[in-house]
């Protein structure tokens, strides 16, 4: 880390109004809550407001220092959930990455872009827990730059409204991310719906969400996103790691699935999709 970044980190200058830096995003992950109570003492978690009508989402992947993931998860679950819910920033899922012990992944939803702007301003601009816990959170993190701003497509995601605390889940959530480049989102979604989705369903996979890059200006620039990466992704759940591995093996054996793709869609299929295997944390809405 450069001397300049070290000075910024220790001086508390955590907001950036200029170029995007890892430090800027790292600082925001600590933004959070007015409450500090143990997860065991918390009530059943439910989304405030009309959360099922969310149309804007963030997929956030944080890279942490070695051995710090459980520290951040504990801090997050004790302090960062209810205050976000209270201002309309819905914490939909929090996960450990099965393939990276130093990666924490979470999904956040908003009613729309204006609501996102207001929620983030309320949360990161005035939360007492931002002041109380930012140093603890920053200390766990190398980088929090990996953020995709997403929108719904033809159907509303099938995310639950409530989940009891201390759930015991062996589930695996798979997130498959296609990088579109210059491919039209609607054309790619049509290919997915007519060619890929029926095969997924036949193998027992039923995506709970299909999302694409929200190609609008980031209306809360102090919290940067990957504005230049255009993606299409789907999210599904499997009861166990073994179930997911069985599905993945069958998918890898599927030959010729690109054959019917229009030429305009092919560029997005030449690159292997990014695939995340995630397990929910104790208080994740998705269990």
Reduced 3-state DSSP string for the chain: CCHHHHHHHHHCCCCCCCCCCHHHHHHHCCCCCCCCCCHHHCCCEECCCCHHHCCEEEEEEEEECCCCHHHHHHHHHHHCCHHHHHCCCEEEEEEEECCCCCEEEEEEEECCHHHHHHHHHHHHHHCHHHHHHHHHHHCCEEEEEEEEEEEECCCCCCCCCEECCCCCCCCEEEEEEEECCCCCHHHHHHHHHHHHHHHHHHCCCCCCEEEEECCCCCCCCCCCCCCCCCEEEEEEEECCHHHHHHHHHHHHCCCCCCCCCCCCCHHHHCCCCEEEEEEECCCCCCC
Within a domain: residue 243? yes
15 found inside a domain = no
Residue 287 lies in a domain: no
With cut-offs at 50, 70 and 90, classify the pLDDT of residue 32.
very low
* 132 and 187 housed in the same domain: no
Query: Is the same domain home to 112 and 31?
Result: yes
Cβ atoms 90, 42 nearer than 8 A: no
Quote the CA–CA distance of 73 and 98 in Å, as a whole number: 15
Do 99 and 42 sit in the same domain of this protein? Answer: yes
Q: Express as a percent the part of the chain with pLDDT over 90.
A: 70
Do 131 and 201 share a domain, yes or no? no
Closest of 177, 174, 176 to residue 286, by C-alpha: 174
Please give the tally of structural domains in the chain: 2
Domain that holds residue 191: 168-209+216-280
pLDDT in tens, 130-150: 788 988 998 999 998 899 999
User: What is the tens place of the pLDDT at every residue in 208-247?
Assistant: 999 999 999 999 998 999 999 999 999 999 999 999 999 9
Identify whether 3 is part of a domain: no
Shared-domain flag, residues 134 and 203: no
Read off the CATH number of the domain in which 134 is found.
3.30.70.100
Cβ 154 vs Cβ 189: under 8 Å: yes
Please state, in angstroms and as integers, the Cα–Cα distance from residue 107 to each residue in 40, 41, 61, 110, 120, following that order: 22, 23, 9, 10, 14
Residue 107 has a pLDDT of 98
141 shares a domain with 93:
yes
- Note the pLDDT tens digit of each residue in 240-282: 999 999 999 999 999 999 999 999 999 999 999 999 999 999 9
Q: Do 26 and 112 sit in the same domain of this protein?
A: yes
pLDDT at position 53, please?
Answer: 86
Dist CA 265 CA 260 (whole Å): 10
Domain annotation covers residue 163:
no
- 196 and 260 both lie in a single domain: yes
| pTM > 0.85 | no
Residue 5 falls inside a structural domain: no
257 in a structural domain: yes
- 31 and 131 part of one domain: yes
158 in a domain, yes or no?
no
Let me know whether 183 and 99 are in one domain: no
Cβ-contact 266, 187 below 8 angstroms: no
Are 106 and 180 members of one domain? no
Looking at per-residue confidence, does 218 or 25 come out higher?
Answer: 218
For residues 126 and 203, membership in a common domain is answered with: no
Among 36-50, 157-171, 263-277, the range with the most confident prediction by mean pLDDT is: 263-277
């Amino acid at each position: 880390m450069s001397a300049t970044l070290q000075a910024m980190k220790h001086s508390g200058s955590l907001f950036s109004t200029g170029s995007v830096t890892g430090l800027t995003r790292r600082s925001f992950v600590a933004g959070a809550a007015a409450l500090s109570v143990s997860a065991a003492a918390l009530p059943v978690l439910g989304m405030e407001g009309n959360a099922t009508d969310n149309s804007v989402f963030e997929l956030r992947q944080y890279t942490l220092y070695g051995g710090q993931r459980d520290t951040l998860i504990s801090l997050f679950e004790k302090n960062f959930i209810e205050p976000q819910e209270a201002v309309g920033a819905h914490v939909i899922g929090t996960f450990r990455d099965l393939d990276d012990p130093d990666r924490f992944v979470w999904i956040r939803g908003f009613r729309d872009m204006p609501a996102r702007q207001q929620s983030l301003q309320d949360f990161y601009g005035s939360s007492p827990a931002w002041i109380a816990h930012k140093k603890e959170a920053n200390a766990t993190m190398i980088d929090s730059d990996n953020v995709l701003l997403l929108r719904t497509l033809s159907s509303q995601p099938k995310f639950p409204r409530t989940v009891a605390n201390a759930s015991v889940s062996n589930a695996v959530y798979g997130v498959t991310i296609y990088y579109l480049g210059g491919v039209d989102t609607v054309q790619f979604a049509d290919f997915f719906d007519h060619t890929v989705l029926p095969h997924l369903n036949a193998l027992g996979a039923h995506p709970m969400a299909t999302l694409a890059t929200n190609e609008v200006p980031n209306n809360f620039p102090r919290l940067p996103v990957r504005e230049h990466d255009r993606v299409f992704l789907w999210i599904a759940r499997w009861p166990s790691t073994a179930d997911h591995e069985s599905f993945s093996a069958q998918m890898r054996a599927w030959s010729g699935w690109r054959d019917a793709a229009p030429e305009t869609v092919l560029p997005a299929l030449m690159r292997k999709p990014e695939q995340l295997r995630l397990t929910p944390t104790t208080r994740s809405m998705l269990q």
